[in-house]
Structure 1
Amino acid sequence: MNIKERIIDVFSHYEAGKYSNIALNDYFRENPNLPIKEKSFITEVFYGMIRKQMFLEYVLRTYTKKIEYPWLKNLLRLSLYQGLFMDSDEKGVVWEAVELTKNKYDKKVANFVNGVLRKIFREKNEIFNSLLNKKEYLLYSYPKWFYNKIKSDYPKNFKEILKTLKETPYLSIRINKLKYTEKEFLNLLNKLNIKILKQVDFVYYLSDGKILNTDEFKSGKLTVQDASSYIAAKNLNANKDDRILDACSAPGGKSMVIAESMNNTGEIISLDIHEHKIKLIKNNAENMGIKNVYPILHDARKINELNGEFDKILVDAPCSGFGVIRKKPEAIYNKTISNVEELARLQLDILNSASKKLKKGGILVYSTCTITKEENTANIRKFLETHSNFSVVETDIPKNVNFIKDKYNGINIFDNFLDAFYIIKLKKNS
C-alpha cells in the first residue's frame, strides 16, 4: 500500500470518531512491520492534517464544489498540507496525487485533482494574504471564538501563542531517580544516537522516539512526562514524611514526581473519580517502584470529606486542555466558551474543597494545562477574595523556561517545547 493511502486510511478512522492518538496507535499496532521512517512520515502528515483542518477545509470549499468521495477529499487535504506546510516539491505532490487518483477512479477525476491542486499552489500567496486581512483565525486554523478569546486574554503576544500551540510537539522523557541515574540515561542516548533538544531539570526533550522501545522505558526507569507537569508537582517542595494530597491525579505522573522527591517516604493520597484510572495509577506506581502513593476513588469536589489534614495539596484541575493542543490537536474543534465556563466552576469547587483540608502553614499548588483566563487568573481572583487566610508565594520556574506572569504572580508557561500550563503557589496562613 502506498504511504499516502495509509495516511488516508488512518484519517478515515479519526473522522469516524476515534481520538487521533488512538487511531494512530491502533494502525501501527495492526501494521507492526512499518519502517521507522514511514511511521514518522505518517505521524507528521496525519497530525498536520488535523492541526490545519479548518484551513484546509476553507481552501477546498473555495476552490471546489461538493467532493463526492471522502477518500478523494482526504487525498486533496493531504496533498495540500504537503504542498503548503511541508518542504515538499509541489509538482511531485501533484503528480503523485494524480497517479493515486487514476488507480482508484478514472482519468476525469484525475484531471480534476490535477487542476485543483495546480491552481491552489499557483495562488497560495493570494490565499494566505486574503486570510491575513479578513479571516486570520482560519489562517491559524482555530474556531473564531477561540481566536478572539486568546486575542482578548493575551493582546500583546496572542499570535505567538496561537502559532506555538499548532507546532509539532517533542517527545519528553523524565528519569525515574529511584531506579536510574542521569549518567546511565546519557549513555543510553549516546548508544541510540539520540540528541537532547532541551533539558528542564530531569526532563529531556529528545530528537527521536525510539527510546520508547527500550527495556529501560518498559521497566519504569524512564517515563513520558512534560516538564510543565513536572514543574507543577515539583513546586510542592515535598519533604520527607509529609502527608500530601494529589487531588486530580490520573494517570499519576505528578504523584510519581512527588513520591520520588520524598524517596518513597511519607504518604501521597492520589484521588480520581474513575475506577479504571485508579488502576492505572496503581500500575504506574508499581512499574516505577513507587511505594508511598495510595490511590483512592473519590470526587475531588468533596475533599473536605476525607479524614485528616494535609501538609501540601496539588490541585491539577480538570480543564479545557488548550495548553496541550500540540499533542491533542482535535481538542480545539469540539469545545465552546460554555465548556470553558462550566469547567471553571468545577475547578473553583475543587479548589475551595481542597483548601479546607490544608494544614495552617501548608502549601497548595493550583495548576491547569490550559490558557483561558476564566480557568486560571479569574479562578484565583475569586478564590483569594473569599479566602483571606491564603496568600500567593513565589513559584520556582527553571531559567530556561519561557513564561508570562499574571496580576497575582501566577505563571503562564508559553514555551516552544513545554506544554502551555498555568501554575500558582498558595500558602495557608495562620
Structure 2
Amino acid sequence: MNLQRKNLRKFETDMDNYTFPARFLESLEHEPGFDRQNFVEAHQSEAALTSIRINPFKPATIKTDEQVPWCAQGFYLNTRPSFTFDPLFHAGAYYVQEASSMFIDHIMKTIRAEKDEPVKVLDLCAAPGGKSTLLNSALASSDLLVANEIIKTRVPILTDNLNRWGTSNVIVTNNDPKDFNSIHSFFDIVLVDAPCSGSGMFRKDPAAMNEWSEGNVNLCHQRQERILADIYPALKEDGYLIYSTCSYSHQENEDILDWLCTEFDLESVRIPIYKEWGIVETESPVKKAWGYRFYPGKVKGEGLFAGCLRKKTSSGGLSNYKNNGQQKLPAKEMELIKAYINNADDFYFFKVNDDWLAINREHKESLNILHRHLYIKKSGVRIGKLAGNDLIPDHELALSLAINKDAVLSTPLNKEQAIQYLRRDNIDITITGKGWSLMTYEGHALGWAKLLPNRINNYYPKEIRIMTQQ
C-alpha cells in the first residue's frame, strides 16, 4: 500500500513537472476550492471545450449540443467546426467564446433585476469583444455600451466584432483608464476584465505557461490596482463594478476585492449560483467579499475569477462639461440618409468628415460628452457617404439591425457563393438586379456588392476577407 502511494505521488510529480511552470501548483495549494489531482487530470486528459454564444438579435438555425448553465445563449459544441468557413459567423449570428467567461451574463442579469431603468455600461478592457457582445446582448436599445480598448492595435478586431453584432447603441473608444477620470459618475455599470497572469488559460493556450511567474503575478496585481483606481471616479454612486480575471492567484482575485473594499469602501454583491454548476464561491480574507472561481475539472470551462461590488459614495458630477452646440446638417442630405434606416426618427444623425452616422436618439448627449473627453473609434452605425443623390453604403450599415432592408436590393447566396464573396473572389451567380445590393446568407447580411450588367463588384472589406484555404 505504501509503495502504491509512493508510486502515485511520483506519477503526480512527474505529471506536474512536465506540464506546469515551477512553483505554480504549490502557489495554488491554499486557494479556495483547489483540488490538485482533479486540476492536473483536467489539464492532462481533457481538451479545452468549444463553446459559442448565440446573437439574440440575429436569430439563426445553428446546430448546438449542450447549453452553458449560466448563460441562456451559450452552448457547447461536441466538435470544433471551421468557423472561418461558416458564413453565419461572419454575419454575426454567433460569437465563439469560452464558456466560463459567459458567467458575466449571469452577473449582468442579477444586476438588471435590481436596476431596471436605462443604464450606461463600460467594458474597460474590451478587445477582442467577447464580453462586449455579451454585455450588449443583455442591454436594450435605451441602454448604452461603451467598449474601450487601451491598445490601439487591438481596436480594429473589437470594432469588427461589434459591427457584426449589429446594434447601434455602442461606442468604441481607445483610451487609457486614467482618461476616464474626467467623466465622474457617468457609468452605472463598469466591467474590468483585467489584464492578468493568464493561468486560467493554460489548458486552452499552453504557450501561456511560458509567461507565468510569481513575479509576473505581483506585477499584474499592481497593474490591476492602478486600472481600478483610475476608473473608479467614472462609476456612479450605487453603480456596480464587475471585476474578473483569467487567473487563479489570490493576489489578482480575492486580494483585489479586499483592496477595493478597503480603499474605496465598496460593498460586495452576492451572486446566486447553483451547486451543480461546479463554481466555487469564495470570500476574501479581510472584507469577506464574495468571489466566484472556475476550475477546469469542476466546471465545463476554463479558469476564471469574478466578483461584483456596489459603489456607496459619489465622485461628483461632470462639472467641466459644456455643450458647444450641435452640428448643422443639410436637410436634403439627411432626408436621403434617413431612407436607409428603420424608424429613422428614433435616431440622432451626424457627420464625421464625409461619413454619415446614426446612434439611438437617447444617446445623443452621452455621445457629445464622450466625444469631448475621449478618443472615439466607432459610434452607433456608420451609414456611408453621399455622392450626389446616391449613397455609397458602409459595411457597418450592411450588418446593422437598423438598416431598412426595403430601401436596398438583396441577393441571396448559397454557402459556396457566400464563401466566394467572403474571399472577395468572383461570385458564380446570375445577376438579377442593378446597383448596390446586400449579399445575404440564410437571410443574414454579409456585406455589399455592386451589381452591374456584366459583372459584380465585390465590396467586402479587404482587411477582414477570408485568407486561408478550406
TM-score for both structures, normalised by structure 1: 0.63
Residues 229 and 208 of structure 1: CA distance in aligned 2, closer, same or farther (over 3 Å): same
Q: Are the aligned partners of 1:197 and 1:206 in contact in 2 as well (CA < 8 Å)?
A: no
| Pairwise CA distance, 1:307 | 6.0
Mapped contact 1:256–1:290 kept (Cα < 8 A): no
Q: Deviation of residue 347 (structure 1)?
A: 0.7
Equivalent residue, structure 2, for 1:402: 278
The separation in 2 between residues aligned to 1:406 and 1:297, in whole angstroms, is: 34
Aligned to 1:177: 56
Alignment of 1:324-339 (within 5 A): 324-339=201-216
> For the residues of structure 2 that align with 1:377 and 1:413, how far apart are their CA atoms?
14
Structure 1: distance between partners of 2:307 and 2:48: 24
The match for 1:391 among 244, 264, 267 is 267
Alignment of 1:166-315 (within 5 A): 166=44, 167-180=46-59, 184-185=60-61, 188-189=62-63, 195-196=65-66, 199=69, 200-210=71-81, 212=83, 213-236=85-108, 237-238=111-112, 239=116, 241-306=118-183, 309-315=186-192
Q: CA deviation at 1:246?
A: 0.8
Residues 360-402 of structure 1: per-residue CA shift (max 9 Å, x gap): 11111111111110100111112211222x1101124466421
Structure 2 equivalent of residue 78 of structure 1: none
Quick one: structure 1 residues 159 and 300, their matched pair in 2 at CA, closer, same or farther if it must change by over 3 Å?
A: farther
Identity of aligned residues (%): 24
Offset, 1:405:
1.9
Residues 92-103 of structure 1: pairs in structure 2 closer than 5 A: none
> Cα deviations across residues 18-39 of structure 1 (Å, max 9, x unaligned)?
xxxxxxxxxxxxxxxxxxxxxx
Q: Contact (CA 8 Å) 2:184, 2:236: kept in 1 or not?
A: no
Task: Write the letter of the residue equivalent to 2:80.
Answer: G
Point out where structure 2 has 5 or more consecutive residues left out of the alignment.
Answer: 284-288, 314-470
Q: Distance in 2 between matches of 1:227 and 1:134?
A: 30
In structure 2, the residue corresponding to 1:294 is in which secondary structure?
strand
User: Distance in 2 between the 1:129 and 1:158 partners?
Assistant: 13
User: How far did 1:195 drift?
Assistant: 3.6
Q: Is the 8 A contact 2:185 2:237 kept in 1?
A: no
Give yes or no for contact 2:68–2:99 (8 Å, CA) kept in 1. Answer: no
User: Residues 395 and 126 of structure 1: is their aligned pair in 2 closer, same or farther, counting only changes over 3 Å?
Assistant: closer
| 2:20 matched residue in structure 1 | 142
- Are the counterparts in 2 of residues 246 and 314 from structure 1 also a CA contact under 8 Å? yes
Rounded to whole Å, the distance in 2 between the matches of 1:133 and 1:279 is 44
Greater strand share, 1 or 2? 2
Structure 2 CA distance for aligned equivalents of residues 264 and 280 of structure 1: 23
C-alpha distance 136-227 of structure 1, shift in aligned 2 (>3 A): closer
* Whole-angstrom CA distance in 2 between matches of 1:320 and 1:398: 28
Is residue 2:233 matched to residue 1:360? no
Question: Which amino acid is 2:66 matched to?
Answer: I
Task: Give the structure with the larger helix fraction.
Answer: 1
Q: Please list, as runs of the form range in 1=range in 2, the aligned pairs for 1:34-49 lying within 5 A after superposition.
A: none
Verify the 8 A CA contact 1:303 1:357 in the aligned structure 2: yes
Structure with the greater relative contact order (CA < 8 A, sep ≥ 6): 1 or 2?
Answer: 2
**Does the 8 Å CA contact 2:33/2:280 hold for their aligned counterparts?**
no
**One-letter identity of the residue aligned with 1:391:** E
1:319 and 2:196 equivalent?
yes
Structure 1, residues 93-133: CA drift from partner, whole Å, max 9, x if none? xxxxxxxxxxxxxxxxxxxxxxxxxxxxxxxx999757337
Partners of 1:217 and 1:156 in 2: how far apart?
36
Deviation at 1:353, TM superposition (A): 2.0
Contact 1:176 1:221 in 2 (8 A): yes
SS of residue in 2 equivalent to 1:406: strand
Residue type of the partner of 1:364?
Answer: L
After superposition, the Cα gap between the structure-2 partners of 1:229 and 1:240, relative to the gap in structure 1 and judged at 3 Å, is farther
Deviation at 1:198, TM superposition (A): 5.2
Matched residues in 2 for 1:201 and 1:400: separation?
16
Counterpart of 1:424?
307
Which aligned pairs between 1:17-96 and structure 2 lie closer than 5 A? Answer: none
> In the aligned structure 1, how far is the partner of 2:215 from the partner of 2:199?
14
Residue aligned with 1:172, SS = strand
Read off the aligned partner of 1:249 and give its amino acid letter: A
In structure 2, relative to structure 1, the CA distance for the partners of 1:127 and 1:209 (3 Å cut) is: farther
* Contact 1:165-1:324 within 8 A present in 2 as well: no
The whole-number CA distance in structure 1 between the counterparts of 2:214 and 2:282 is 21
Partner Cα distance (1:280, 1:393) in 2: 32
In structure 1, distance between residues paired with 2:135 and 2:230: 21
Are residues 397 and 165 of structure 1, via their aligned partners in 2, closer, same or farther at CA, if it must alter by over 3 Å? farther
TM-score, normalized by length of structure 2? 0.58
Q: Distance in 2 between matches of 1:402 and 1:265?
A: 35
CA contact (8 A) 1:171 1:206 kept: yes
Q: Given that residues 245 and 268 in structure 1 are in contact (C-alpha distance below 8 angstroms), is that contact kept between their aligned partners in structure 2?
A: yes
Deviation at 1:156, TM superposition (A): 5.6
